[in-house]
Chains A and B, each alone.
Chain A
Amino acid sequence: MKSQLLSLAIWVPILGALPVFWLGSERRTLVRWLSLAVAITGFLVTIPLYTGFDTSTAGMQFFEQVPWITRFNVQYMLGVDGISMPFILLNSLITVLVVLAGWEVIEDKQAQYMGAFLVMSGLMNGIFCALDGVLFYVFFEASLIPMYIIIGAWGGPNRVYAAIKFFLYTLLGSLLMLVALIWLFLESGGSFNILDWHHLRIGMAPQILIFIAFLVSFAVKVPMWPVHTWLPDAHVEAPTGGSVVLAAIALKLGAYGFVRFSLPIVPDASHHLAPLMIALSLIAVIYIGFVALVQTDMKKLIAYSSISHMGFVTLGFFIFNQIGIEGALVQMISHGFVSAAMFLCVGVMYDRMHSRMIADYGGVVNTMPKFSALFVFFAMANSGLPATSGFVGEFMVILGAIKFNFWVGFAAATTLILGAAYTLWMIKRVVFGAVGNDHVAKLKDIGGREFLVLGLLAVCVLAMGLYPFPFTEVMHASVDNLLKHVAASKL
C-alpha cells in the first residue's frame, strides 16, 4: 500500500493554516482552538511513523514519489529513515506546545501568529523527509519566510534588525548550497535524487568545494562558531514561540544537513576537513560556554548554551564512529526538548515581568514554587545531569570522542563543568535566594495550561534520560548505513 503519511505530515499543518489566516484576528477563541486542532492533528498523523517504523532496515520508509518538475527531473520524493523520523515527531509535538504557549500572551494578530507557526511546522517536516535535492532546498528556504515574519512582527524592540540578520545570514548559506546542488545534478547525469548522489564518484577538488558550499549553508543554520552571531540576536528578539521553534527544530536542520548531504556525498572531503570541523566544534563548546557564563540576559544565555550544545552535535558527527553519531542524534532530540523547555520557562517569567534580565529577578521560588521546580529540573537537564536526556547524548559523544582521540574527548568533557556553571549560576540568581524586589513578590505561579506544556516536556526529558532505548533503537540501522557510506571513498 502506498503511504501518504509524510505528505500528511507536511500538508496538514500548512493547509490547516489557511482557515486560521482566513478567520482573522477578531475571532480569537475560534482561532486558538482551530490552531490547536490543526497542530494536534498534525502531530497525530506523525505517530504512525514511529509505530509503523521498521527498525531493521536502513532504507527509506513511507516512501512517496511523484514527478514534480519533469524538465529537470525533479521529483516530489519523500521518505524517512531512522535519522530523520524522530525529528518529524519532535517538530510536530513542539508545534502543539508552541500553539499552547501563545494561547493568551499573543494579543496582536493572533491568527497570523498561529498560522505562521503551522506553516513553519509543515515546511520543516518537509525538510526532514525530502529526498530530492530541489525539494529539500525549496522547503529549506521557504521556512525562512514564516520565521522572518514571526521574529519581525512579534519580537522585541530590536526585532527588525534581528529578523533581517536572521534571513540574510541563512540565505547566504543556502544560496551556495543551491549552486552545489545544481553541480551535483549535472555531475550525476541529471538526477536530483539525494540517494543517487550517495553513490556518486567525485574527485577530491570538487568534493572539497561541495563540502565548503554545504558547510557554509549548514554551519550558519546550526550555528557553528564563527557564523553563530545571528542566533543570539534572533533568540533574544523573537517571541517565546519563535525562540522555541528556532532552538528546538530550526537549529537541527543544519545538523541534519550534515548527515544527509555532507557526510555521505563527499566523505573524502569530510575526512579531510574533519580536523577543522572538530576544532570549530570544540571552540563552540568551550569558548561559547564561557560566553554564556557572562550573559546578563536569560534568553541570550540559553541561546549561547544552544550554540555550545550544537557544537557537541557537530563534534559527534565528525569523529566518525557509531556511538559518536548516535550520541549526536540523541543530543539533537534532547536539546529539542530541553531548549524548548528553557525558552518556555523564560517566556513564562517574561510574560509576567516583561524582563529577561537576570538582575531583575531573585527568589522566584518563593512566589512560584511549581514553576521553579520545573525550571530547576530543565536547568539540570541542560547541564547534563544523569537521568535526564541531556546526559545521554553528551555522554555518548564524549565516549565516542575519547575513542577518537583522548584530548578531544577531554576538551569536550569540559562542557559538563561549563554547562553546569552557567546554567546553575543563572538558576541561583533567578530562582533562589530572597525575594529580589516587589515585582517578584507579586508573581503568580503557573496556571494549568503552562503546567501542561512544561510538564509534558519534563516527562519527555525524563523518559529519554532514564530509558533512551526507544530513541536509539530506530537509529541503529540508519547510522550503520551512514557509517558505511562515510567509510567508502568516493574518489
Chain B
Amino acid sequence: MLQNFVMPDLYPAAPEIFLLLMSFLVLFVDLVFGATHRWIAAMLTVITLLGCAALTLVTSDGQTTLTFSNMFVDDLLSDFLKLMSYLAVIMMLVYSRQYLSDRGLDRGEFYVLVLYATLGMMVMISAASLLTMYLGLELMSLSLYGLVAIDRESRRATEAAMKYFVLGALASGLLLYGMSMIYGATGSLEIGGVAQALYQGHSEKPVLIFGLVFLVAGIAFKLGLVPFHMWIPDVYHGAPTAVTMFIGSAPKLAAFAMALRLLVYGLFGLAMDWQKMLLIMAVLSIGLGNLAAIAQSNIKRMLAYSAISHMGYMVLGLMAGVIGGQIDPFTAVNAYSSALYYTVAYVLMSLGAFGMVLLLSRAGYEAENLEDFKGLNQRSPWFAAMMLIIMFSMAGIPFFIGFFAKFAVLLAAIKAGYTAVAVIAVMFSLIGAFYYLRVVKLMYFDAPVDSAPIAAGLDLRVMLSLNGLAIAAFGLFPDAVMLVCTTTLMRSL
C-alpha cells in the first residue's frame, strides 16, 4: 500500500500549516507565561495571522492548484477570502483586547480557539471536496461554540453556547446527510467531480434534489437565513461582545465560500433549482430581519437581526447567476462578484458596529442597550460621526460602501429578471432604515444618560476611526474593491 502513497504538494496549504504550527506555540507560550504576561499570546496570534497573510500572498500565483488528492484548492478566490478573514480577525483582536482583559477573558484558550476557528474557515474557503468542507466547517463551528462559552461565569453565554451547539450540530447533520445523497447520486466527493457528473447527466435527479435541499439548509444555517436563523439573535446577544464581533465577521466570509464552492462550483447544473430556494429564503430573511430588528432594544440583538437581513441581500446576488437556464459566464461572474462584494462590505460594517459597542463598554459595564448610545454626539462627536457612517452605510444610504453593495446585488437581481423581488427588497430596506435612523437619533437628538468619559484605549480608537473612514472612503471610491471582487471571481470560476 505504501508505494501508492504520494506525498501531497504542501506548498498551496502553507498558510494553514503555518497557522497550525503557530497555534501549538501559542498554547505552549500561554502555559509558560500565561499567568504573568498575557499579552504575549495575543501578540503571537496577531503575528501568526500576519505571517499567514504573508504566506498567502507569497504562494498566490493566480493559478488554480489542487492538492491533497484534489481535496484542497488554492485559487485567487481562496487567497482573497483568506486575506479578508485574516484582516477581520486581526481587527477583531485589536478591538477586543481591552474588553477581554477587563473581564479576564484574555486567556490562552481564547487565542487558540480563535486561531482554530480561523483555520477552520481557511479549510472551508479552500475546500475542493465535500469532506474537506465538512471538516473545515466543524473545526470552525466547534471552536466558535467554545468561544461563545468562554465566559464560564455568565449563564447567558453558556445558554447561548448550548443553543448554538445544538442547532449547529443539527445543521451539520443536515449538511452531512445532503452530502451523502450527493455522493450517492454522483459517485464523487470531489466538488469538481460532482460538477462533472452533473454535466454528464447520468445522475438520478430526485436523489440529487433531495441532497440539494439538505445542503442548502446547511448553508442557510451558517449564513443565518430565515428559516434557519433562530440561533443568530440568541448567540449574538448571549456571547461576550468580542466573540459576537468575531462570529459576525470572518465566518460570514467562510459561509459565503461554502455557498459558492458547493452550489456554484459543485452543483451549478442544478442552479435553476437552488436559485428558487435561495430566492424564498432571501425574501424571508430581508423581511423578517428588518421587521424584527425594529422591536429590539438591545443593540447586539438589533445587529443580529440586521445581519439576517444583510445576508438576505447578499443572497440576492448569489441567486442571480443563471438566467432562465442559460449559462452565461459574464452574468455569472457579475452576480457572484456582487454577492462577494456585499459580503466584504458587510464584514467591514459589522466589525465597525460591534467596535462601537466595545468602545462604549468598560470594566464592569456592558454598553449593549440602545440607550447607551444616547447623546453620544455630546460625549464624543468624532465617534458619533463614525457610528453615523456605519449606520447609514448599513441602511444603504450613499456615499458609503453599504449603498454600493446593495446597488450591486440589486443590479444583479434586476438583470436576472427579479424586478419584483428587487422592489420588495428595497421596500424592506426602507423599513430597515428606520432602526438605523433610530440609533442616529439617539446619538444626535437625545441628551446623554451616561456621562462617563469613554474609557477605550488608543488601539481601539484608532482601529474604529480607520474602520469608519474606510467605509466612507470605499463609498466615495468604490471602484477598487468592486474590481478586485470581479477579477477574483473571473479568474477562479
Answer whether residue B154 sits at the interface, using C-beta atoms and an 8 A cutoff.
no
Q: Is B414 a contact of A69 with CB atoms below 8 Å?
A: no
* Any A CB within 8 A of the CB of B38: no
**B397 lies within 8 A of A175 (CB):** no
Proximity string of chain A (387-411) to chain B, C-beta cutoff 8 Å, 1 when within and 0 when not: 0000000000000000000000000
Complex Cα gap A167–B411 (Å)? 24
- Chain B residues closer than 8 Å to A175, beta-carbon distance: 426-427, 429-430
Total inter-chain residue pairs, C-beta < 8 Å: 93
* A264 shortest CB reach to chain B, Å: 22
Which A residues from 207 to 255 make CB contacts under 8 A with B? none
Interface stretch of the complex, out of A180-188, A196-204, A275-283: A180-188
Which of chain B's residues have a CB closer than 8 A to the CB of A185?
411
A160 touches B445 (CB 8 A): yes
Q: Decide: A72 and B411 in contact? CB cutoff 8 A.
A: yes
Report B408-444 residues with CB < 8 Å from chain A CB: 408, 410-411, 414-415, 419, 422-423, 426-427, 429-430, 433-434, 437-438, 440-441, 444
Partner of A168, one of B399, B419, B430, B486: B430
Size bin of chain A's contact surface? 35 or more
Give per-residue flags for A1-40: 1 if the beta carbon is below 8 A from chain B beta carbons, else 0.
0000000000000000000010010000000000000000
Quick check: is A149 within 8 A (CB to CB) of the other chain? yes
Query: In the bound complex, how far is the Cα of B422 from the Cα of A383, in angstroms?
Result: 45
- Within 8 Å of chain A (Cβ to Cβ): is B381? yes
Q: Which residues from B are CB-within-8-Å of A354? A: none
User: Which of chain A's residues has its CB closest to B483's CB?
Assistant: A71
Residue B479 at the chain A interface, CB threshold 8 Å:
yes
Residue B373 interfacial (CB < 8 Å): no
Provide the A136-157 mask, 1 if CB < 8 A to any CB of B, else 0: 0111011011001100110000
Report Cα–Cα, A137/B437, bound state, in Å: 19
Q: Are A141 and B415 in contact (CB under 8 A)?
A: no
Do B433 and A168 have beta carbons less than 8 Å apart?
yes
Given A69-B404, A141-B397, A178-B426, A183 contacting B414 (CB threshold 8 A): yes
Q: CB of A274 within 8 A of chain B?
A: no
A183's nearest neighbour on chain B, judged by CB, is B414
Scan A110-144; emit 1 where CB is below 8 A from any B CB, else 0: 00100000000000000000000010011101101
Query: Does A176 sit at the interface, judged by CB under 8 A?
Result: yes
Question: Which residues on the A side are within 8 Å of B486 (C-beta)?
Answer: 71
* B423→A168 contact, CB < 8 A: no
How distant is the Cα of A374 from the Cα of B389 in the complex, in angstroms? Answer: 42
The tally of residues in B whose CB lies under 8 Å from a CB in A reads 36
A182 interface neighbour in B411, B429, B434, B440, Cβ under 8 Å = B411
Q: How far is the CA of A221 from the CA of B141 in the complex (A)?
A: 49
Chain A residues closer than 8 Å to B408, beta-carbon distance: 71-72
B256 within 8 A of A: no
Bound CA span A109–B385, Å: 14
Mask: chain A, 99-110; 1 = CB below 8 Å from B; 0 = not? 000000000010
Interchain CB contact under 8 A, B437 and A71: no
Most buried by B among A24, A167, A172: A167
Measured between beta carbons, the chain A residues less than 8 angstroms from B419 are 179, 183
Q: Verify if A51 is at the interface (C-beta below 8 Å from B).
A: no
B403 is an interface residue with CB less than 8 A from chain A: yes
A440–B194 CA distance with the chains assembled, in angstroms: 86
Q: Is B407 interfacial (CB 8 A cutoff)?
A: yes
Contact B426 A176 (CB under 8 A): yes
Residues of A within 8 Å of B427, CB to CB, are 175
CA distance A164 to B438 in the complex (A): 8
- Is A134 in contact with B407, judged by CB distance below 8 angstroms? yes
Of B404, B429, B441, B478, the contact of A152 (CB 8 Å cutoff):
B441
Contact of B184 with A by CB under 8 A: no
Q: B242 on the interface (CB 8 Å rule)? A: no
**A-chain residues with CB within 8 Å of residue B482 when the two chains form the complex:** 69, 71
B346: Cβ under 8 A from any A Cβ: no
Q: Find out whether the CB atom of B426 lies under 8 angstroms from the CB atom of A138.
A: no
Option from B397, B415, B483 in Cβ contact (under 8 Å) with A145: B397
| Set B423, B430, B444, B479: member contacting A71, Cβ < 8 A | B479
Task: Indicate the member of B398, B434, B482, B486 with the most A CB atoms within 10 Å.
Answer: B398
Task: Give Cα distance in the complex from A176 to B438, angstroms.
Answer: 22
What residues on B are CB-neighbors of A138 within 8 Å? 398-399, 403
Quick check: is A490 within 8 A (CB to CB) of the other chain?
no
Given contacts A145-B397, A153-B445, contact A167 B437 (CB under 8 A): yes
Is the contact region of chain A dominated by helix, strand, or loop, or is it mixed? Answer: helix
A159 to B292, CA, bound (A): 25
Query: Bound complex: CA of A145 vs CA of B433, how far in Å?
Result: 12
Q: Give the distance in Å from the alpha carbon of A164 to the alpha carbon of B392 in the complex.
A: 13
The CA-CA distance from A250 to B445 in the complex, in Å, is 22
With contact pairs A71-B479, A138-B399 given, residues A179 and B434 touching in the complex (Cβ less than 8 Å) = no
B444 and A149 form a contact (CB under 8 A): yes
**A163 is an interface residue with CB less than 8 A from chain B:** yes
| CA gap between A21 and B381 in the complex, in Å | 9
**Taking the complex as formed, is A469 at the interface, i.e. its CB lies under 8 A from any CB of chain B?**
no
Tell yes or no: A171 within 8 A of B by CB. yes
Interfacial chain A residues near B388, Cβ < 8 Å? 145
A residues in contact with B478, CB < 8 Å: 69
Q: Which B residues from 185 to 199 make CB contacts under 8 A with A?
A: none
Known contacts being A112-B381, A160-B441, A171-B433, is A144 close to B397, with CB within 8 Å? yes
Chain B neighbourhood of A171, CB < 8 A: 397, 430, 433
Which A residues between 31 and 67 are near B, CB-CB below 8 angstroms?
67
Contact in complex: B381, A164 (CB < 8 Å): no
Q: Are B437 and A70 interface neighbours, CB within 8 A?
A: no
- Cα distance A457–B65 in the bound complex, in angstroms: 71
* Min CB–CB distance B231 → chain A (angstroms): 30
Q: How far is the CB of B187 from chain A (nearest CB, A)?
A: 40
The distance from the CB of B38 to the nearest CB of chain A, in whole angstroms, is 38
Question: With A and B bound together, what is the CA distance between A160 and B397 in angstroms?
Answer: 19
Please tell me if A68 contacts chain B, counting CB pairs below 8 Å. yes
Name the CB-closest residue of A to B427: A175
> In the complex, what residues of B have CB within 8 A of residue A160's CB?
441, 445
B459-493 contacts to A, CB under 8 A, are 478-479, 482-483, 486
With A175-B427, A178-B410 as given contacts, are A70 and B479 in contact (CB-CB < 8 Å)?
Answer: yes
- Residues on A with C-beta less than 8 A from B399 are 138, 142
Q: How far is the CA of A93 from the CA of B444 in the complex (A)?
A: 28
Contact residue among B398, B407, B414, B483 (Cβ-Cβ distance under 8 Å from A186): B414
How many angstroms from the CA of A444 to the CA of B309 in the assembled complex? 56
Bound CA–CA A109/B414 (angstroms): 44
A152-B444, A168-B433, A179-B422 known; A69-B479 Cβ under 8 A: yes
Measured between C-beta atoms, what is the minimum distance from A137 to chain B in Å? Answer: 7
CA distance A186 to B399 in the complex (A): 22
Bound complex: CA A21 to CA B384 (Å)? 13
B398 touches A179 (CB 8 A): no
Complex contacts, B392 vs chain A, CB 8 Å? 145
Chain B CB count within 10 A is highest, among A71, A141, A168, A182, for A71
A-B contact pairs, 24 of them (CB 8 A): A21-B385, A68-B479, A69-B404, A69-B482, A71-B479, A71-B482, A72-B408, A112-B381, A142-B399, A149-B440, A152-B445, A153-B444, A160-B441, A164-B434, A167-B433, A168-B434, A171-B430, A175-B426, A179-B422, A182-B410, A182-B411, A182-B422, A183-B414, A185-B411
- By a beta-carbon cutoff of 8 Å, the part of chain A in contact with chain B is 21, 24, 67-72, 109, 112, 134, 137-139, 141-142, 144-145, 148-149, 152-153, 159-160, 163-164, 167-168, 171-172, 175-176, 178-179, 182-183, 185-186
In the complex, besides A71-B486, A145-B392, 18 extra interface pairs with C-beta distance below 8 angstroms are A69-B404, A71-B483, A72-B411, A145-B388, A152-B445, A153-B377, A153-B444, A153-B445, A163-B445, A168-B434, A176-B426, A178-B426, A179-B414, A179-B419, A182-B407, A182-B411, A182-B422, A185-B411
Please list the residues of chain B having a beta carbon within 8 angstroms of any beta carbon in chain A: 377, 381, 385, 388, 392, 397-399, 403-404, 407-408, 410-411, 414-415, 419, 422-423, 426-427, 429-430, 433-434, 437-438, 440-441, 444-445, 478-479, 482-483, 486
Which 7 pairs across A and B sit closest by C-beta, in order of nearness? Answer: A138-B398, A175-B426, A152-B445, A71-B482, A182-B414, A142-B398, A153-B444
